[in-house]
Structure 1
């Protein structure tokens, strides 16, 4: 692979800064552009497997071709098909196979997934067919149309086409499945967190050696697992949940991830069985009723929950939370927690707020 191989990492809308920071901190390459849900970068080292280990990315691709959109009418489909002529699929497949193992070195077919911003006089399947048929013809293999045949066979090469209103980008997925599908996530419950977002939250928490890390509403354990995988140097990982089903799911996932040092307990997040000022970092997706209803003390006295967080945090502690709106912060401030970072994230079109809070100093 050339030292300047070009990659495109895709992420949830709003996580582009965290993804770019992870790429730079991992010394994976130079950022060439950041746009809607994507960060482009050129590799510093050939075949660096760190490219396929990005935690805040939904997926990572090799850049095949890029060109200006030719409009929003069906005539633009011809221009999209020309992207396949600009790409070098044989070379890209060779690079892909060097970066990640696949069922077969030579794919038996081609599949394309397309997405675009704004309205068009064609749908995603029209765009997929235009590009997929052209790629299949170049490679001399069958094309799998998602329009009529659903999910493709696992040994088909996965291509991605994005249209952002200005440019069309054609990419080849590197890994056999998207990065956001974590192998450890064998069990889920309502409200389970998107793993790359959980990874971004743990990065914002700045977990360090010897820290005690708490998730008082741990659900299926995604936040604690992402934190423990990224920061094994922390001292203790503690998860609490009042729902036995959630704790069972978290237990399954932590065992799959081989993280036996994560401790899980059943408890009311509004009355944590912890001494005062003993927690260094809190990471949590609280149940505010959007997907999971609050229970126990959180349902009866939601504002008192902030006082509980403030009670267990050390004076130099940090809490990183995912909130449905910025409005719950007034009682947090009254409890002595000051917001130092708020960032809007979009998941499946729904805005949520990534918020960092620290104890108010006297």
Structure 2
């Protein structure tokens, strides 16, 4: 028997998620296909391994697709009628198996419903969620946590208490029905409790680490570590690497220490209070600089770099090993690839992404003296497949 899972991700990084899915267990994922912001695949096993996808925002167990649910208000009743034919009980048993919760009684659990609507409709998401919630509650005996403000959401039963989530995606007259495999979206890392402005999306941090992690990786540096998201994801992706996380803001550096301790990577991470424009790393040369610098948008630059980051790019090359490379992210209108090119770097990859409505560039580069920098072969092959599938282009999507 096979099951179909769909993992969702940052727009523009579908190829990277596909590579992670393909590599999470040898041969476990089959029939891998691309969609916008998602990768779908078949597997014979629903287990905890799929809950450890680092570049995924979410992972869902597909239960089926409904048809004939159009834009009219009467479609909500039709949706309810067809949902009654979905086997939510079997789906929940599979979800519980993946989590190791097979002994939990469904009647004691709470659930919520999340709906996404594409196109104009004569009804809103809350109407669909409440209609679906009623059907699922009747089918499995669990308690429904409504998100509808009109229903007094949060007074008696909040979404924070939900043990499982039903997800409905309406597009045209079709509805994809799925169950979230984890209790919360995968991008909500359990260790990330201490945060500040401009904190990085963890799956994007995991993506940067993997894109930059070609060849030997013994040392990595994030000189603008903020809350430590990139340093933590790099340490997770490369357990044998020594990671240095630095920042000029003592409070954010404290956040990074606390988050790394919860993530159990603190012993492999050195935290440094430092001005990245006047570095004293004392760690030799680094194989990878992976960072999300303060671009004077959500977070302003400070210290010796308050006026411009250009001096940083000119001097940081000296901290890199001969094969060293840089992987960073910047909003597209900042034109960072051109700035790196003018500073003497070889720019090997510019991948446009969209996150929270903002268009940014993921950039892989190396100092001009460095050996040729390129994507790891496995990632390059999946990126070529995504280009052929029309999901991304050579530099965008």
Cα distance 1:257–1:276, how it changes in 2: closer, same or farther (>3 A)?
A: closer
The correspondence for 1:221, drawn from 215, 221, 228, is: 228
Cα distance 1:12–1:127, how it changes in 2: closer, same or farther (>3 A)?
A: farther
Distance 1:155 1:349 in 2: 27
Alpha-carbon distance, 1:64 to partner = 1.2
Distance 2:168 2:221 in 1: 40
Alpha-carbon distance, 1:132 to partner = 1.8
1:298: which partner in 2? Answer: 305
Cα distance 1:302–1:133, how it changes in 2: closer, same or farther (>3 A)?
A: same
2:184 pairs with 1:170:
no
Distance 2:81 2:227 in 1: 45
Larger CA deviation: 250-259 vs 147-156: 147-156
Cα distance 1:183–1:143, how it changes in 2: closer, same or farther (>3 A)?
A: closer
**Paired residue secondary structure (2:304):** helix
For residues 19-30 of structure 1, the aligned pairs below 5 Å read 19-27=17-25, 28-30=28-30
For residues 277-296 of structure 1, the aligned pairs below 5 Å read 278-296=285-303
Distance 1:284 1:73 in 2: 48
Q: Deviations over 1:37-66 (max 9, x none)?
A: 2211111x4233211111011111111111
Cα distance 1:229–1:156, how it changes in 2: closer, same or farther (>3 A)?
A: closer
**Paired residue secondary structure (2:106):** coil
1:34: which partner in 2? Answer: 34
1:93: which partner in 2? Answer: 92
Q: Deviations over 1:289-331 (max 9, x none)?
A: 1100111222223211211232222231111101012512333
**Paired residue secondary structure (1:300):** coil
Contact 2:209 2:233 in 1 (8 A): yes
Alpha-carbon distance, 1:350 to partner = 1.6
Structure 1 residue runs of 4+, over 4 Å off? 207-210
Larger CA deviation: 139-148 vs 292-301: 139-148
Contact 1:280 1:314 in 2 (8 A): yes
Alpha-carbon distance, 1:74 to partner = 2.3
Contact 1:342 1:354 in 2 (8 A): yes
1:246: which partner in 2? Answer: 252
Cα distance 1:276–1:179, how it changes in 2: closer, same or farther (>3 A)?
A: closer
2:385: which partner in 1? Answer: none
Distance 1:137 1:33 in 2: 34
Alpha-carbon distance, 1:187 to partner = 0.6
Distance 1:354 1:210 in 2: 20
2:308 pairs with 1:309:
no
The correspondence for 1:255, drawn from 254, 261, 273, is: 261
Cα distance 1:292–1:89, how it changes in 2: closer, same or farther (>3 A)?
A: same
Contact 2:11 2:353 in 1 (8 A): yes
2:368: which partner in 1? Answer: 360
Contact 2:217 2:288 in 1 (8 A): no
Contact 1:109 1:136 in 2 (8 A): no
Which ranges of structure 2 fall in alignment gaps of 5 or more residues? Answer: 371-397
Distance 1:199 1:334 in 2: 28
Distance 1:135 1:212 in 2: 50
Cα distance 1:212–1:110, how it changes in 2: closer, same or farther (>3 A)?
A: closer
Contact 1:276 1:311 in 2 (8 A): no
Which ranges of structure 1 fall in alignment gaps of 5 or more residues? Answer: none
Contact 2:164 2:182 in 1 (8 A): no
Contact 2:106 2:142 in 1 (8 A): no
2:243: which partner in 1? Answer: 237
1:54: which partner in 2? Answer: 53
Contact 1:154 1:176 in 2 (8 A): no
Q: Deviations over 1:135-185 (max 9, x none)?
A: 222224443221031433635431111124464211111222221121211
Distance 1:83 1:208 in 2: 52
2:345: which partner in 1? Answer: 337
Distance 1:55 1:278 in 2: 27
The correspondence for 2:15, drawn from 7, 13, 17, is: 17
- TM-score w.r.t. the length of structure 1 is 0.91
